Homo-oligomer: A and B are copies of this chain.
């Protein structure tokens, strides 16, 4: 574990916010907690901070490990650490669990102070807009006025984009990776099937399953299996599994026949053990609702006129869920506003999951972009 490129042993922290938060839905959170982690050191003029926004099933645990024998590091450990593309020798990096999440921040599984019971179905629908407001309050809490960069992949990229729209003075660089200006109908349809699998699970109990001592494990498992298909490309699944049988010969039944089935069931089971179904519902709705151009009749260029940050936009050729064409829409709208934008369309076999993979070309681009970021006094 004496890996010099690791941020090492990390400990999450909790910030409590007692100022009420008005949500886009009209609901109000009277108070809430955000769980976060930080890596590296904030410099004297607090100009080297980088915020990492997570995707659907992500967390605040972005890099490092919780103990010497922790089996898995944070979810973007290959990107973040001393000497890594996002170099913690230079930047102060913050990971935060979004509101509505299930990893410590206030969400459906945490206790509703008004009732003393888990929020469950009473926890409101949260949006990308709400997350960005809550993240700005976390920045205030940490004394950070302006981020050197805000970075996210997928749903995280949507948050980086939203930051550039609503807090242009607080973000110098937005790294929008494997994202889109909104979801296509097909993407929303996959989300809907996942949600229906959860909601129609008899153990969902209209979202208040905690009180029944059960979880809608079956529905969440189906949702995750489906998700996994869409995170990989057809080619990647072909290369990884093809039509490989699990056993020596075909058994003609409904137990696992093909390797790929075994993989999907394992992924589904594992996820259903830990993730919260109510969080899954809310994360997919946040994806569905994100559509900044809607306020100007679909004109993304008009909306991005508010942004002043520099942008790095990255897409991956085999990503059919957030295809390069969707990233190019963002790039075009940024260029329409004469903003500074770098765009990389990377050849990658892994589909949407490519944004999490340690591809050398991908990492070199992120590294080069971040190395060129200048900020004020070092510590």
Contacts and interface: CB of A to CB of B under 8 A. Distances in A.
A266 interface: no
Given A184-B234, A222-B197, A252 B124 contact: yes
B222 A188 contact: no
A263 B260 CA distance: 30
A332 interface: no
A297 interface: no
Interface residues of A, number: 58
A186 interface: yes
A16 B287 CA distance: 54
Contacts of A196: 221-222, 225, 264-265, 268
Contact of A264 (B27, B192, B200, B265): B192
A182 interface: yes
A188 B188 CA distance: 22
A202 B214 CA distance: 14
B25 A252 contact: yes
A114 B190 CA distance: 43
A374 B220 CA distance: 56
Interface string A200-229: 111000000000000000100110011011
Task: Find the residue from A189, A234, A243 having the highest chain B CB count within 10 A.
Answer: A189
A195 interface: yes
B25 A243 contact: no
Interface of A: 24-27, 124-125, 127, 182-186, 188-190, 192-193, 195-197, 199-202, 218, 221-222, 225-226, 228-229, 232-234, 237-238, 240-243, 250, 252-254, 257-258, 260-261, 264-265, 268, 281, 285, 288-289, 291, 294, 320
16 contacts: A127-B252, A184-B237, A185-B234, A185-B241, A185-B258, A188-B243, A189-B225, A189-B237, A192-B261, A196-B265, A196-B268, A197-B222, A202-B202, A243-B291, A254-B281, A320-B320
